[in-house]
Every structure is written in structure tokens, then in C-alpha cells.
Amino acid sequence: MPLILVVEDSATQAAALAELLERSGFSTVTARNAEMALDLLARQSVDLVLSDVVMPGMDGYELAKRIRSMPALSDQPIVLLTSLTDPLAIVRGLESGADHYVTKPYEPSGLLARVRTVLERRNDVRLRPKPITIELLDTTFEISATKEQILELLVSSYSDLMRTSEAVRDAERRARFLAEATELLSSTLDVQNVLADLARLVVPRIADLCTADLTGPGNATRRIEIAHRFSDSPTSETLEPHTQQEELSGMAKRAIDDGSIQLVPIATDEMLADLARNPELLAELRQNGPFGLLVAPLIARRGAIGFLQFLSADLNRLTAPESMLLIEDLARRAALAVDNALLYSEAQRATTARDDMLAIVSHDLRNP
């Protein structure tokens, strides 16, 4: 089992890296800084060094140079972790003697692939690097890298660039979605309209089906809105409103009690039936499944006031970290909008009751 030395000054990140590597069949040993890493390498051999670049004291570049300068470790495989995508920073990594680099935040699959590639090539005599001089952005570097390493570096850099660009586009899409949601949620003080607009906005951008329920006294719930993408069944505009009180239970109850999102990777038939509450829609769900189900509570100033349910056939999209953050943010905004609408409705009823009382008193005073 290959042994990997993880050099990382953040204890949290070091633990996460070690766990990822160990789950993938590697053994690990950690060092909190470059000095500790050099001390450990003097006493113990490892198959690969995986080091952060930015650390207090000696950085990852200098660590790689020190390792390469030691005769017994001149062929030591080294991979650097860096949050910098500047070409100069990447070339500096090669100049320092690193075999490869991984940009942070990293994708686990990408990091593991590069670690395995470096380990597989460590004993290949054909891949012994020869010093070459290159110029980049008016700076001269002398690096020891094979043609294979340079080609792989170019491919990896392009892959990282595409991933970063896609992440930026995703962030822009999420920002636009939240801006649109905020505009919709603030456009009315009618609870029905607030939740109807929200559910229709969610489908199909986040989920294939979305329901919105309000909670009441004694664990009672009331379905306010349902929206879905299934054309053969009634959509939210044509479904009869669900005014019947249901008892809060299952995932919805756990979400309300815990005040946190609840997730089921594969929704059961009972869950689908509770979501659909319509034979035609239930048949569509059974035909198009399986689905992942996520329940987000609506927590307002007065406590839990309802919950949103998201059903999606794309579990990876639904449970991606950015999607979870988006849903949490959306639920917070929805809870505030619904709470404001409920408070407005209560104020309207109080005003009507006051006016009715004043009318009665005025009538009695005029007609003793």
C-alpha cells in the first residue's frame, strides 16, 4: 500500500486529505509544516509527497527544492497543492522540482488521478527529466521536466481553467436565480401567490417537482402549491388547491424538528404518493423514477412555519454542495417572505375586526 506524506498547515484540510487518500487505498502520514516534513523524510521513506504551497515559514516550493537537493531523495515523487492558477506559480512548481500540481479547491477524483499518475511513472527510466530553459511572461525559468510532464501540465491547466470557468458560470446562474427569486418573493403579500411563484421558479431549474406546505397548530400541515415538469399530468395552475389538513410526519417532521435540510437518495412509493396526491401524477412519477427527495424547512422569526420539498431524478445535481447552499438560501428568503405575508394577513384581519367593532359601538351609541 503506497505511503503518502501530506504536508499541510491546516489540521482540518490535512485530515480531509488523509481521509480521502486512505479511503482510496493509500496509507498516509502528515506533517504540519515543511520543517517537520524534512525531519520525517530523513527518518522514513514515503512513496509520494503531497504538499501545500502556502505555509508559514518554508513554503512548498522551497520544500520541493530541498527534497530534490538530497541525494537519497532526488527521485522522490512530489505533487504540490496550490490555490494559485497563475501560470508563473505553476511553472515555479516545476522549477522547484515538483512532478505535478493540483489546484485548490480540488475535485477528489482529479487529485487521486494525478497522484496515481505520478506514482505509476516514478520508476519509468524513459521519464527521467532533463533540465531545460523556458521563458514565460518575461521571466526565465530553468526546469527539469520531461515532454510528457509538460504535455500533461498543459492538459491539466486547460482542464482546471475549464472547471474554473464552469464554476464561475454556475455562480452567476445561482446569483441570477436568487435575484429573480427575491424579486418574486417581494412582489406580493399574498401567501398563496408567494409560494406559487416560488414553486414555479424552482421547476425545472433545481428540481423536477416542488411542493410548498404551511404548518399549523398540533402538527397540522396544509399543501399550498405543487409544481412539476410532467406534461401528461396537471401542473400547478390546474390542480385543485389542497385545503385539507394533513398531519406532519416523516421527513418533513424531521426537517421541522431539526431545523435542517433532510435528504433521501431514493424516495419510496409512499413518499411519492404523499407528494403527488393525484393518481395521474403518481403514475408519472413511478414511470420516470427513481427520484431523490430533499425537504427544506421554512424557519422564520416565530419558528417553523412550513417546508419545501424538492424531487429530482438527478441526485448529483440536487445534492451538489452549491445546490444545497442555494436551497438553504432560497428557503431562508422564502420563509421571510411567507412570514411577512402571514403577518400582513393577520394585520388585515385585526384591522377588519377593529373596524367591525367600531361600527357596532358607533351604531349602539347612535341607537341607545
Q: What domains sit in the chain, N to C, each tagged with a CATH number?
A: 3-165 (3.40.50.2300), 188-352 (3.30.450.40)
Q: How would residue 4 be classed by pLDDT, with cut points 50, 70 and 90?
A: very high
Alpha helices in the chain (DSSP H): 11-23, 34-43, 60-69, 87-95, 108-121, 147-185, 191-202, 250-258, 269-276, 279-288, 315-319, 321-366
Q: Name the one residue in this structure whose C-alpha cell is 464554476.
A: 167
Neighbour count for residue 140 (Cβ, 10 Å): 8
**Predicted confidence (pLDDT) per residue in 116-175, tens digit:** 988 887 665 445 556 666 555 566 656 665 656 656 666 666 666 666 676 677 777 777
Q: How would residue 221 be classed by pLDDT, with cut points 50, 70 and 90?
A: confident
pLDDT score recorded for residue 46:
93
- More confident call, 233 vs 251: 251
What phi, psi does 272 have (nearest 5°)? -60, -40
347 Cβ contact partners less than 8 Å away, ≥ 6 residues apart: none
Q: How would residue 217 be classed by pLDDT, with cut points 50, 70 and 90?
A: confident
171 Cβ contact partners less than 8 Å away, ≥ 6 residues apart: 322
Instruction: State the angle between helix axes of 321-366 and 191-202 in degrees (0 to 180), rounded to the nearest 10.
Output: 160
Q: What is the mean pLDDT of residues 70-82?
A: 86
Among 20, 54, 57, 15, CA closest to 36 = 57
pLDDT score recorded for residue 136:
52
Contact 120, 104 (CB under 8 A): no
Q: How would residue 300 be classed by pLDDT, with cut points 50, 70 and 90?
A: confident
What phi, psi does 32 have (nearest 5°)? -80, -15
Q: What is the mean pLDDT of residues 83-87?
A: 60
Amino acid at residue number 74: S
330 Cβ contact partners less than 8 Å away, ≥ 6 residues apart: 178, 181, 198, 202, 296, 308
Q: Name the one residue in this structure whose C-alpha cell is 504551497.
A: 53
71 Cβ contact partners less than 8 Å away, ≥ 6 residues apart: none
* Residue 310 per-residue DSSP state: E
**Element of type H or E holding 6:** strand 3-7
**What is the C-alpha separation between 229 and 291, in angstroms, rounded?**
13
Chain mean pLDDT for the chain = 79
pLDDT score recorded for residue 337:
82
Q: Lowest mean pLDDT: which of 20-24, 76-80, 124-128, 182-186?
A: 124-128
- More confident call, 133 vs 82: 82
Contact 97, 65 (CB under 8 A): yes
**What is the C-alpha separation between 343 and 340, in angstroms, rounded?**
5
pLDDT score recorded for residue 242:
46
Highest mean pLDDT among 87-91, 310-314, 317-321, 350-354: 310-314
pLDDT score recorded for residue 125:
44
pLDDT score recorded for residue 308:
92
303 Cβ contact partners less than 8 Å away, ≥ 6 residues apart: none
**What is the C-alpha separation between 64 and 80, in angstroms, rounded?**
9
pLDDT score recorded for residue 241:
46
Among 155, 202, 193, CA closest to 323 = 202
Q: What is the mean pLDDT of residues 274-299?
A: 89
pLDDT score recorded for residue 352:
74
- More confident call, 14 vs 130: 14
Measured at the alpha carbon of residue 295, what is the angle toward residues 310 and 329, in degrees to the nearest 5?
85
Distance (Å) of CA 203 to CA 235, 289, 337: 11, 16, 19
pLDDT at residue 282 is higher than 80: yes
Contact 85, 162 (CB under 8 A): no
pLDDT score recorded for residue 293:
92
**What is the C-alpha separation between 287 and 230, in angstroms, rounded?**
11
DSSP letters spanning 338-359? HHHHHHHHHHHHHHHHHHHHHH
pLDDT at residue 60 is higher than 50: yes
pLDDT score recorded for residue 109:
85
Among 307, 312, 308, 334, CA closest to 267 = 312
The whole-model pTM stands at 0.54
pLDDT score recorded for residue 316:
80
pLDDT score recorded for residue 143:
60
**What is the C-alpha separation between 312 and 262, in angstroms, rounded?**
14
